[in-house]
Amino acid sequence: MTTPKFARGTLHTFQPPEQVSQVTRALHGVGRKVALVPTMGALHAGHRELIRRAKRLPNTVVATSIFVNPLQFGEGEDFEAYPRPLDKDLEVLKEDGVELGFLPKASDLYPEGATVTVHPGALGDELEGAVRPGHFAGVLTVVAKLFNIVRPDYAFFGEKDYQQLVLIKKMVRDLNFDTRVIGVPTVRERDGLALSSRNVYLTPEQREDAIVLSAALTAGAFVGRDGAEAVLATARQTLAARPAVEVDYLELRGTDLGPAPVDGEARLLIAARVGSTRLIDNVPVVLGAAVDHPEHAPDAGE
C-alpha cells in the first residue's frame, strides 16, 4: 500500500487505522512530531482548548480522533443517544487547524474476537469506576489502541475527566508507552458549569441546577486552609441549596487520587445526577498551611 497523501495546512481524514499509522510513520520519518487529541466528538470549547494547546507545539502535526467508544459505556448508559454531529465537528477541526482526523468505525478498532483489554488496577473501581463498572478498562483499552495506531509523541487530555487523566498517565508509565501525556485545565461556561458534550441533555431548569456542582467545588476549595472537613462541609452545604441534584460522590483526594494530604495539594471531585443526566467535575484544592506557600499564590502560573 502506498502512503496516503499528506499536505500540510489542510485537514485529512482517515477511517482505516492502517492509513493513519502509515501517515504518522511517514511524518516521524521526516522529523515531525505528532500530537494526539482523542475525543468522542460533539466538539466544544473544552476540546478546542486541547487542540489549541497541541497546536502550540513546534514542528508538530495535530491529530484528533473522533470515536464514540462502545467499550466504555455500560448497560443502560447513553451510548446510542450520545450526540454525533460529524459534519459540524469536521468544520471545527478545519477551523482549528487540525491536519489529521482519525474517524475509525467500531469494527475497525474491535474486530470480531477481540477480547484482550487493559486492566486499570484498583483505582479503576473507585469514584467513577464504582458507579460505572468496566468504564476505565474501556477507556484505557481504546487509548492504548489509539496510541499504538497513531504513535503520538504527545497526547492531550482534559482535567475535566480527572480520574481518566490520572489513569492514562499511570498506564503510560506502567506499560512503557512512549507518549507524553499533557493535562489541560477545565474550560467552563461563564457561570462555572464545566463544558461537556452531555450538557445538551439538560433542560433550562436542569441547566440552572447544574451550576451548583462547580459552585460547591469552588466554595469548598476556598476554605482549603481550614482543612479537609471544612472543604467537604462547605461543598455539601452549597449542594443542599439544590435538592434536585442527586450526588453520587463528593470526595477529597490527593492529586494522584490516593488519600488527601493534611497539608498540600489535593483534588475535590464530584459526580451528580441532574434529572437523568450524569455530570462530573473537579477542582484543585490547597489544604492547610500549604496555602501560604509561595507556589500556591493565586498568580503562581498555570
In three-state secondary structure terms, 221 is helix
212 vs 228 by CB, closer to ligand AMP: 212
**Alpha-carbon gap, residue 266 to 219, rounded angstroms:** 15
Q: Which three cell numbers stand for residue 255?
A: 492529586
Of residues 60, 65, 179, 196, which one binds ligand AMP by CB under 6 A?
Answer: 196
Answer yes or no: is 134 a known binding residue: no
For residue 179, state whether it binds ligand AMP (rule: CB under 6 A). no
Which of 197, 199, 214, 238 contacts ligand AMP by CB under 6 A?
197
Give the shortest CB-54-to-ligand AMP separation in angstroms.
11
Provide the residue type at 76 as one letter: G
Contact call for residues 213 and 189 (beta carbons, < 8 A): no
Query: Which member of 63, 184, 245, 260 binds ligand AMP (CB under 6 A)?
Result: 184
141 binds ligand AMP (CB under 6 A): no
For the annotated catalytic residues, the residue numbers are: 47
CA atoms within 13 A on the CB side of 53: 20
103 and 66 Cβ atoms separated by less than 8 Å = yes
Q: Is 231 in the site for ligand AMP (CB under 6 A)?
A: no
Q: Where are the alpha helices (DSSP H) in the chain?
A: 17-29, 45-55, 86-95, 106-109, 128-131, 135-150, 162-174, 204-222, 228-239
- Asked if 277 touches ligand AMP (CB under 6 A), the answer is no
The contact mask relative to ligand AMP for 142-161 (x = CB under 6 A, - = no) is ---------------xx-xx
Residues making contact with ligand AMP (CB under 6 A): 39-40, 46-47, 49-50, 157-158, 160-161, 184, 186-187, 194-197
Residues of each annotated binding site for (R)-pantoate: 72, 164
